[in-house]
């Protein structure tokens, strides 16, 4: 599965193309991995609540059929859409999510950053006080604020249809983060979103996309 760089493309036609690809594929259709960047857009998951969209302004809000709540896509973010036949790959949805998260963690490690999982909250987070610290998060997170001291650097939202996946993961590289302040990201009020640039890692979109694409191709392999 070789990553396909699609560049900057509008969200809605890409969403529709994923749906069409998945509906038309057969047991023999090769898996694909699309890497792209979207103009500013908010997307709502199936469980998305309008109350989590605080002040969208001129940024459109689009309903989707992925899991999860509202998130933001914009320039400077690598969005990866794995189109995987899970039956052929030989693993289930829970492991699929784990493998995507592991790909992001390994991508961050490539840039010297330590990524973390938060139980029950899909996506990858970094320590705001020291994103380069190698220690694991220890002990349970505070019940009232599981994201204390953390910033979210990658958001995950997937759809599985006939055991085939679409939607995927958004990895923040060098963005204008202000639009995140107009929503409750992933449904969590006060959750801070972060990118590589803000924590002092300066790289190009192309390099970040190449690294993430290679990691996903490796870790999503059967």
Predicted confidence (pLDDT) per residue in 23-80, tens digit: 999 999 999 999 999 999 999 999 889 999 999 999 999 999 998 899 999 999 999 9
Q: Is 164 labeled as catalytic in the residue annotation?
A: no
For the chain, how far is it from start to end, CA to CA, in angstroms?
11
CA-based nearest residue to 65, from 18, 2, 133, 5: 18
Reported as a single tens digit per residue, the pLDDT across 20-32 is 999 999 999 999 9
Task: Decide if 122 contacts 101 (C-beta within 8 A).
Answer: yes
Domain of 103, in residue numbers = 3-219
* CATH number of 55's domain: 3.30.930.10
Q: Which of 170, 183, 186, 191 is catalytic?
A: 186
| Residue pLDDT tens, the chain, 222 long | 889 999 999 999 999 999 999 999 999 999 999 999 999 999 999 988 999 999 999 999 999 999 889 999 999 999 999 999 999 999 999 999 999 999 999 999 999 999 999 888 899 999 999 999 887 776 666 666 778 889 999 999 999 999 999 999 999 999 999 999 999 998 888 889 999 999 999 999 999 999 999 999 999 999
- Total number of domains constituting the chain: 1
For residue 117, give every residue at least 6 positions away whose Cβ sits within 8 Å of its Cβ, in sequence order, or none: 101, 105, 124, 125
């Amino acid at each position: 599965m070789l990553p396909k760089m699609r560049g900057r493309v509008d969200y809605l036609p890409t969403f529709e193309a994923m749906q069409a690809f998945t509906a038309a594929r057969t047991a023999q259709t090769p898996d694909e991995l699309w890497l792209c960047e979207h103009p500013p857009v908010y997307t709502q998951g199936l469980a998305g609540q309008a109350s989590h969209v605080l002040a969208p302004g001129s940024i459109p809000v689009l309903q989707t059929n992925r899991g999860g709540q509202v998130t933001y896509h914009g320039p400077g973010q690598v969005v990866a859409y794995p189109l995987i036949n899970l039956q052929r790959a030989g693993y289930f949805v829970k492991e699929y999510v784990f493998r995507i998260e592991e790909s992001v963690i390994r991508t961050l490690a490539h840039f010297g950053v330590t990524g973390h999982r938060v139980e029950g909250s899909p996506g990858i987070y970094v320590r705001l006080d020291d994103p380069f610290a190698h220690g694991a998060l220890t002990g349970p997170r505070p019940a009232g604020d599981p994201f204390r001291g953390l910033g979210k650097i990658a958001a995950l939202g997937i759809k599985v249809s006939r055991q085939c996946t679409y939607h995927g993961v958004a990895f923040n590289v060098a963005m204008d983060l202000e639009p995140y302040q107009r929503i409750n990201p992933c449904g969590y009020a006060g959750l801070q979103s972060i990118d590589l640039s803000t924590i002092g890692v300066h790289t190009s979109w192309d390099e970040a996309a190449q690294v993430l694409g290679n990691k996903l191709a490796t870790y999503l392999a059967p």
